[in-house]
Each structure stands twice: as structure tokens, then as C-alpha cells.
């Protein structure tokens, strides 16, 4: 859990969401240092989110995927990534994802149904879109195409051939 992964923005968005919706939980997964956890917990307390945020920490893969499948919506406020499998896992489990419009999401997932992107850094839009998706009765979620390492290497070779 780090600033680049958007944990602070997820908490700030949660404080916006709490103004309209009180009965929900943001479950934060992933490894965090003790220092990061201290800062995150202080921010949770400062924002009055103790009843709405659970820090689950690092989870075994099967448990993390099950959690994503049971979620109403997944928030992915990361600023940097190469190929965010966490997003793919949520979509495969039928859970819509709200995230920032970063190259990793637009290039890997495009305009797939169930992926909602907002401008990077626009915390209010992140919160608003999450709230909209959360309140939808039915959300169409399309399974993403998962690239293997061989697919990526073939694409890289093709790009190099075109430019050499």
C-alpha cells in the first residue's frame, strides 16, 4: 500500500461516498510497512472512517479473489502499473472496477464493460463514479482478455519489426 497505488485517494473518495451512503465497507488489501499502516490508520481516524474501512493486508490469492467476487464494486486508484491483474481478477469475478484513466488500464482493458475510468487525480469523480456503480441494480461486466507473457513478447517483437 503506497501513495502511488492510490490508498490515500481511496480513503478520501470513501469520505465523499460516506456523505451519501453509510452502510458500506472499503476493504484495503496489499502489503504495507508499519510506517505506512500508522499513517493510513491516522488518516482513517481523521476522516471518521473507522466503521467503513477494513485493512485486510496481504491475502492469499484465493482469498483475495473470493473477496473481489463478493464485492459490489472494486476501486483501483493506482497511478502506476504495468498489467494490473487485480483489475482482471475483479472483472473475471463479475465485479465492476472504478479506477483512474492510466495507460495500464486503457491499454490492457480498453473500453471493456464493467470498467469505469475517471481522470487521474480527480478524487471527487472517483467517488461519484464508485457511488453510481454501487447503486446500480445490475452492472454488465465483461471478462477481459488475459495476455500471457508469450503474447506480450510477440507484440513487442511486432512493434520492433515495424520500427527497425
Q: What is the pLDDT along the chain (164 residues), one digit of tens a residue?
A: 566 578 999 999 999 999 998 889 999 998 888 999 999 999 999 999 999 999 998 999 999 999 999 999 999 999 888 778 889 999 999 999 999 999 889 988 888 999 999 999 999 999 999 999 999 988 899 888 777 777 777 777 877 888 77
Measured in degrees and rounded to the nearest 5, phi and psi for residue 3 equal -60, -40
3-class secondary structure, 90: helix
CB 50 within 8 A of CB 26: no
pLDDT for res 96: 97
In the chain, where the domains are located: 7-163
Question: How many residues are listed for the chain in this entry?
Answer: 164
137 CA to centre of own chain: 21
Maximal CA-CA distance, the chain: 57
- The Cα 129–Cα 140 span in angstroms is 15
pLDDT for res 104: 87
Residue of 65, 87, 88, 67 whose CA lies nearest to 76: 87
CATH topology of domain 7-163: Rossmann fold (3.40.50)
> Cell 473481489 sits at which residue?
68
| pTM confidence score | 0.85
pLDDT for res 151: 75
Amino acid at each position: 500500500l503506497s501513495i502511488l497505488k492510490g490508498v490515500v485517494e481511496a480513503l478520501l473518495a470513501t469520505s465523499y461516498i460516506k456523505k451519501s451512503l453509510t452502510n458500506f465497507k472499503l476493504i484495503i488489501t496489499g502489503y504495507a510497512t508499519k510506517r505506512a499502516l500508522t499513517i493510513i490508520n491516522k488518516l482513517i481516524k481523521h476522516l471518521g472512517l473507522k466503521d467503513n474501512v477494513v485493512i485486510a493486508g496481504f491475502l492469499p490469492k484465493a482469498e483475495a479473489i473470493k473477496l473481489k467476487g463478493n464485492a459490489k464494486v472494486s476501486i483501483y486508484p493506482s497511478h502506476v502499473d504495468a498489467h494490473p491483474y487485480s483489475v482482471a481478477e475483479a472483472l473475471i469475478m463479475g465485479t465492476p472496477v472504478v479506477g483512474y484513466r492510466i495507460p495500464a488500464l486503457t491499454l490492457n482493458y480498453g473500453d471493456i464493460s464493467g470498467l469505469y475510468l475517471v481522470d487521474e487525480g480527480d478524487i471527487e469523480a472517483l467517488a461519484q463514479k464508485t457511488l453510481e456503480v454501487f447503486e446500480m441494480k445490475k452492472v454488465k461486466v465483461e471478462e477481459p482478455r488475459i495476455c500471457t507473457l508469450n503474447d506480450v513478447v510477440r507484440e513487442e517483437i511486432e512493434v520492433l519489426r515495424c520500427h527497425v
